[in-house]
Amino acid sequence: MRFLPDADTADIKKVSAALREFAVGSRLDLVAIYTDQHVYRRSAFGELLQALCRPDITTVVIPAPEHLSEFHGIYQAMRALIELETGADVLVMSHTGEATP
């Protein structure tokens, strides 16, 4: 997840709870939630990529595309990096709790 540095902790907890609920409903084992709260440094994204090197992690769930990047081209590049380099599937939650590929 990506939030601005001044994000409300209640909002972060709400999105985290939605991810947990989605994982349970999708029969996915939630291994970790990675959160970035800095505009330019993306250490959580690097940690996510390292975790995806494990053979037992095959899926990434993000709440919305802007949680990877607010810019569509960068979102597409980051998603492609995840999918092509690690083989993991990226699921994007929608407001209805469903995911889109």
pLDDT tens sequence across 56-95: 999 999 999 999 988 999 999 999 999 999 999 999 997 5
pTM above 0.95, yes or no: no
Distance CA 33, CA 15 (A): 10
Position 55 in a domain? yes
Position 3 in a domain? no
Q: How far separated are the first and last CA of the chain, in Å rounded?
A: 17
| Tally of domains within the chain | 1
Structural domain boundaries enclosing 56? 9-100
Q: Is 8 exposed, middle or buried (0-12, 13-18, 19+ CB in 10 A)?
A: exposed
Distance CA 36, CA 43 (A): 7
Q: Is 2 exposed, middle or buried (0-12, 13-18, 19+ CB in 10 A)?
A: buried
Position 35 in a domain? yes
Give the model's pLDDT for residue 100. Answer: 52
Position 4 in a domain? no
